[in-house]
Amino acid sequence: MVIEEGRGGKAAACRALGLCRGSFYAGSRASLESRRLRKEIIDLSHEHPRYGYRRITALLRKAGWEVNAKRVQRVRREEGLQVSRKLRKMRRSGTSTAQRQRASHANHVWSWDFVEDQTENGGRFRMLTILDEYTREWLHFHLDHSICAVDVIRELEKAMAIYGSPEHIRSDNGPEFIAYAVQDWLQEKKVGTIYITPGSPWENGHIESFHGKIQDECLKREIFGNRAEARVVIGTYRCEYNQQRPHSSLGYQTPEEFAARALPALRPTASAPSEHVNNINQRTDLYF
């Protein structure tokens, strides 16, 4: 104000305010483009509060900005927009048909597991999620108050009807996954089972990390009025996860972009769901 009104020079004004003259000139040199970029970084960080600076950088580059990741990190630090990280543990037990398989192509290894949450009135629900470990695609989910072995088979069959059959499927030793009905059905479909070591959730790291992202970016941010609303909101987030969210382990491509480049042709389409799910309703050994 003093300088604009001609009541003093820059050096005198800076001395009076106790400022370094360099800070005055640095502020005056900030271009319109730099200010626009800074605003875009802040806006994206507020829109995606659980994204780190690398993922924000990937979004900016997709939008046409030529920006260095360290610059994005610096702006976020100045604005106090760092992301706090939390870890959580789980457990398990079982007999594997294959050990320590590392996915090397699409449909090589799928992972599946459960995550839990509750509605606004306190009603709890479980969600089964299925993930391709190679492409990181969120293939399918099923949400209900309770999910038994029959439901697990039915939902896996739906995913296989769209994406084809995996060579192996990895899980913990939850009763829904080690049920005789599930193991017999997987053996019939020639799908190998990989059960992690009890008390070693890091052996199922892909699905554990994936569930952490679901918790951070969706479940902990939403209040669900009922299970139907939860299905709609989570379904929308699944589309965002597969089609819009840059994935760090895929070179900040989205899972769908990576799958399109990784696969020389479309995945084979499996046959329509069979009558097997209806038949196993008659079984008496679902959980033992």
Instruction: Quick: pLDDT tens for 79-108.
Output: 888 776 664 554 444 556 666 678 889 899
Pair 134, 209 in one domain: yes
Beta bridge partners of 127: 115, 143
pLDDT tens per residue, range 142-185? 999 999 999 999 999 999 999 999 999 999 888 889 888 999 99
In a domain, 3, yes or no: no
Q: How much is the pLDDT for 187? A: 92
Q: How much is the pLDDT for 27? A: 52
Q: pLDDT grade, residue 273 (50/70/90)?
A: very low
Cβ-based neighbour number of residue 250 at 10 Å? 17
**Mean pLDDT (whole number) for 14-32:** 62
CATH number at residue 154: 3.30.420.10
In a domain, 104, yes or no: no
Question: Domain residues for 272?
Answer: 109-282
CA distance 73 to 69: 6
In a domain, 5, yes or no: no
pLDDT tens per residue, range 125-152? 999 999 999 999 999 999 999 999 999 9
Pair 16, 131 in one domain: no
In a domain, 163, yes or no: yes
Instruction: Look at residue 190 and tell me whether its pLDDT is greater than 90.
Output: yes
Is 157 or 30 the better-scoring residue by pLDDT?
157
Q: How much is the pLDDT for 218? A: 94
The structural domain count of the chain equals 2
Pair 127, 258 in one domain: yes
Pair 153, 239 in one domain: yes
Say if CB 171 and CB 196 are below 8 A apart. yes
The burial of 26, by beta-carbon neighbours within 10 Å (0-12 exposed, 13-18 middle, 19 or more buried), is given as exposed
The burial of 183, by beta-carbon neighbours within 10 Å (0-12 exposed, 13-18 middle, 19 or more buried), is given as middle
Q: How much is the pLDDT for 8? A: 62
Instruction: Look at residue 28 and tell me whether its pLDDT is greater than 70.
Output: no
Say if CB 287 and CB 183 are below 8 A apart. no
Pair 253, 138 in one domain: yes
**Mean pLDDT (whole number) for 35-42:** 92
Q: How much is the pLDDT for 286? A: 39
DSSP class of residue 49 equals: T
Q: How much is the pLDDT for 101? A: 75
Instruction: Look at residue 279 and tell me whether its pLDDT is greater than 60.
Output: no
